[in-house]
Structure 1
Amino acid sequence: MTERSLRVVLAEDSVVLRDGMSELLSARGCVVVAAVGTAEDLLAAVAEHGPDVAVVDIRMPPSHTDEGIRAALELRKRWPEVGILVFSQHVEAILAERLLSAGAAGVGYLLKERVARTAELVDALHRVATGGTVLDPEIVTGLLRDGTRRNRIDSLTPREREVLDLMAQGHSNRSIAQRLVVTERAVEKHAAAIFMKFDLPPTETDNRRVKAVLTYLTETGSGA
């Protein structure tokens, strides 16, 4: 995004916060093409303006529960090229898992109270807009639940690490197979080996892929 300003759609139901963030981002060189207060308006704004990234609060009208994250999931489905930064005061690990399960590339989740400077927010927006992943450590901890143990990356074979790196970029097993010129079955075997080495047994929700990616991002320093 060096040749032009980052184009941002901002979704925040608090008028004061919305106006304040718009001014701060504009002062840092971003172009806030739309600032809205509902999930419905967020989807309409992205459809109209085609931004580089959308900043989304989780709890929005009318119920103030998960409207924002549901809108973010819809954005991922309809406009996968648009980066999404969830910017909330709440740690919602289950909702974060739903968003990340669609692919970690171009996704961020930061806590409002832990962003000390506008420059940090702008940097996160640029990283997400260019396909990176930015996660607050509290979000990672909430998703992993059992904590992160170091050096598990070192236990992977070079091929397993390639597979995990592509997982972290948001590729499906089919896409990984095409990129590595192997069969989907081979990718599945590598993924199973990764899950075993990371001590991620099958669960009812089968969220091992998300946890493996989060472990990788944490231990390699690729996340927040």
Structure 2
Amino acid sequence: MTGSIQIGIVVFPDMTQLDATGPLQVFSAVPGVTVHLLWKDLTPVPTDSVMVITPTTTFADAPQLDVVCVPGGYGTDDLVNDREVVAFLQRQADGARYVTSVCTGALVLGAAGLLRGYRAATHWTAMDVLDIFGATPTPQRVVIDRNRVTGGGVTAGIDFALALVAEIFDRPAAEAVQLRLEYDPRPPFTAGSPDTAPADVVERYLQRIAPHKARRREAVERAAARLAEDATA
């Protein structure tokens, strides 16, 4: 693929910064790629950590993107019902080569009607609501279904970005970035998945986030109802 590749990552309040900064580090290491950090305005947005991210481009000023990407985080509960965000994604998706997400960013794509009929990944705690948007929840680190590319939770964003670089360019280009980043993960524990983590760890975590899961489901169901209404309007 020749010419400059325009990649836009949506940033928003209460996002999980690694969902965005992991892919950002990968994309920024590829020659010929321009990355935009997109939001409604250029006001710095707080993340779910101490880091604050400053957008580089507004929705109104964004070029037509080759890749549009939505990261995740608790802030997606608000984004799924944010008409300005949804409308921006719908406009960009019409001309984008790839429509993508990391973690619960998949729910925002779903709220824009962009995952109906597609297999998609998301954070394991959100798998139970992804199908409300007509997607097929697929518990993999990276899912590529036609031009929809979705990553699982948080750290899967690096895997997602490397897989996407291989799709856009080729495998050697992605491998060169992986080598540059020395991305050779060897975690000290095997607790990174509900399938491998100790059962008591999983249970305690689910108890802790139960109120948030209830809030997320309510937000997703409201977004799905709005999407259905818009389709019949």
Instruction: Quickly name the TM-score band, shorter chain normalised.
Output: 0.3 to 0.5
The structure, 1 or 2, with the larger RCO (C-alpha pairs under 8 Å, 6+ apart) is 2
Greater Cα radius of gyration, structure 1 or 2: 1
TM-score when normalising by structure 1: 0.39
Higher helix share: 1
More strand by share: 2
